[in-house]
Structures are given as C-alpha cells and as structure tokens.
Amino acid sequence: MNSVDDKRISLVVGGIKGIGAATSRRLARCGPVFATYLRDEAAATRFQESAGREGLPIRTMQADVSSREGVIALLAEVAKAAGRVDNIVFSAVNAHLCQSLEVSEDAWWKVLETNTAPFLWLGQHMPRVSGQGGRLIALTSPFSRRYVDGYGAVGPSKAALESLVVYLGVDLARYGITVNAASGGLIDTPLMRSLVPENHIGAVARRTPLKRIGTPEDFAGLIAWIASAEASWMTGQIVSLDGGYFLR
C-alpha cells in the first residue's frame, strides 16, 4: 500500500462539523479530502473558507447518503474528481433521541437509513473506487451495547453498524480494504452539547480517570492512525477511546 507520506484521497461523510470536521482537517495532512454535509450549507461554507485560509486541501460537497443511489452518486462524483478514494470515514448521524418503547416506525427507519445502511452501501461500492490499501472506517459509541437514556433507536443503529464492521471486514479483505470502527465516549461537539445537559457533561468528566471528556481531535487522531499504513493488518475491530471511563 501507499506509505503514509504518499497522498491519500479521503472522503469524510458528515465531515464539516464536530468529529467529522476534525477528521477532515487531520486527514488533509495526507492528501485531498472530500467532506460532505446534508443540509447546513452555511456551516459548510464557513468550514470550506477556514480550511482554505489554512491551506488544507479540503472540498466540501452536499450529499444525502440515506439512499443507496445517493451513496453511489457520491462515490462516482469523488472518483471523477480525484480518480480514486483511499479512505472513507462514515461520520454522519441522525441523533434522534427516544426511549425504545416509544420510538415510532418512521423514526426507527429514518435513524437506520442514516446511521447504518449507508455504511453497507459504501462497503458494497468501495472496491470500484478504492486505491491500494483502502480503509473504511465507522464512528460508533459504547452505547451500542450499554443502556443510556434516549438512545433507544441510535444505540441499536450503532450495534448494527458494528456488526457490519465484522461482515464487511471479511468480505472486503479480498480487495485489500480494511474495515474498522472508532468508538468514543463523550466527545465535545456542538451536536453533543445540544443533546446532553451541562451537569451531566461535568459528571462524566469527573468520573473519567483522565478527568475530561474527549475532543474531536482525540477522535480524529485515532481515525488517522486507523487510516495509516501502521494499521494495515487490523480489520473488523471496534477501537475504543474514552479516557478510561468504562474501566470502572
């Protein structure tokens, strides 16, 4: 595969905010990055402008990955612009909060169609566009297998995503593509702050052995390592980063 010093072309789905934005910036040190958003064009413009001022090779793109056709169109557009895609990071999320006993049928499918299904479509189509040593990387949460209030739909969507990491990990190995997930405890993003009360964030920081919640850059560092040549023999894994929170 390419060495880490070679240019790697990355696609970060949900790549203009929070963890996705930090990941786009981090991967831009290794080559061009295509960073997608769904609705927030103003935020995409601000992100594009600040990346430009910093000289980072990041291009923002609007894309809806909630349908198979949307994923195929996105990959075709990136491959047309860059020739291939080496790293795909799937950071998009529908963070709909609800209890499992209350989730509506509509909300259930909407959560799955954003949080889980696109990863399958990305995996199915990645061999057609990937270069040497492809990397398909999901973002997940320890609350895929543990209970937390309000995660009645998002938690199961992340559990299915983690299972796809295993199945795609085996099935994409023949194409030289590894499939892994980075799993994070509480990470300081605007989305997380809009959902979690301040007193709860403080309590998590105090209970964490390393005494703080995570930053998007903590998470982006792990993703960059998974995308690097050093991680070329790792596939099908869920790698956790939580400051030691779940050790006790």
Ligand X SMILES: NC(=O)c1ccc[n+]([C@@H]2O[C@H](COP(=O)([O-])OP(=O)(O)OC[C@H]3O[C@@H](n4cnc5c(N)ncnc54)[C@H](OP(=O)(O)O)[C@@H]3O)[C@@H](O)[C@H]2O)c1
Chain positions contacting ligand X, by CB under 6 A: 13-14, 16-20, 36-40, 63-66, 91-94, 114, 139, 141, 184, 186-187, 189-192
Helix (H) or strand (E) holding 247: none
Please, which residue, 3 or 194, has the CB nearer to ligand X?
194
- Compute the least distance from the CB of residue 215 to ligand X, in Å: 10
Where do the H-state alpha helices sit in the chain? 18-27, 41-53, 68-82, 105-115, 117-129, 154-171, 190-195, 198-207, 216-227
Compute the residue count for the chain: 248
Distance (Å, whole) CA 8 – CA 227: 9
Distance of closest approach, residue 99 Cβ to ligand X, in angstroms: 18
Q: In this complex, which beta carbon is closest to ligand X, that of residue 174 or of residue 247?
A: 247
| Nearest approach, Cβ of residue 115 and ligand X (Å) | 7
- CA–chain centroid gap for 240, Å, is 14
Complex with ligand X: residue 82 or 223, whichever CB lies closer: 223
Query: Looking up tokens 């973002």, which residue turns up?
Result: 139
User: Pick from 76, 60, 83: which is nearest to 122 by CA?
Assistant: 76
Minimum Å gap between C-beta 43 and ligand X is: 6
Q: Which residue is nearest to ligand X (CB)?
A: 18
Nearer to ligand X (CB atom), residue 64 or residue 171: 64
Instruction: State how far the Cα of 171 lies from the Cα of 164, in Å rounded to an integer.
Output: 10
